Amino acid sequence: MSGHHISSAKFLWGVALALFVLTFITVAVTWIQIPEPWNIVVAIAIAVVKALIVVAFFMNLWWDSKFNVLLFIMSIAFFLLLIGITLLDTLYRVDPVPSF
3-state secondary structure of 92: coil
25: contact with other proteins by CB under 8 A:
no
For the CB of residue 29, give the shortest distance to other proteins in the complex, in Å: 9
96: contact with other proteins by CB under 8 A:
yes
Residue 62 CA to residue 65 CA, distance in Å, equals 9
Residue 73 CA to residue 58 CA, distance in Å, equals 17
Query: Taking each helix axis from N to C terminus, what angle separates 38-53 and 9-31, rounded to the nearest 10 degrees?
Result: 170
Measure CA 7 to chain center: 23
For the CB of residue 37, give the shortest distance to other proteins in the complex, in Å: 9
| 37 cis-preceded (ω within 30 degrees of 0) | yes
15: contact with other proteins by CB under 8 A:
yes
For the CB of residue 18, give the shortest distance to other proteins in the complex, in Å: 10
* Interface positions, 45-84, toward other proteins (CB under 8 A): 46-47, 50-51, 54-55, 58-59, 64-65, 67-68, 71-72, 74-76, 78-79, 81-83
For the CB of residue 21, give the shortest distance to other proteins in the complex, in Å: 11
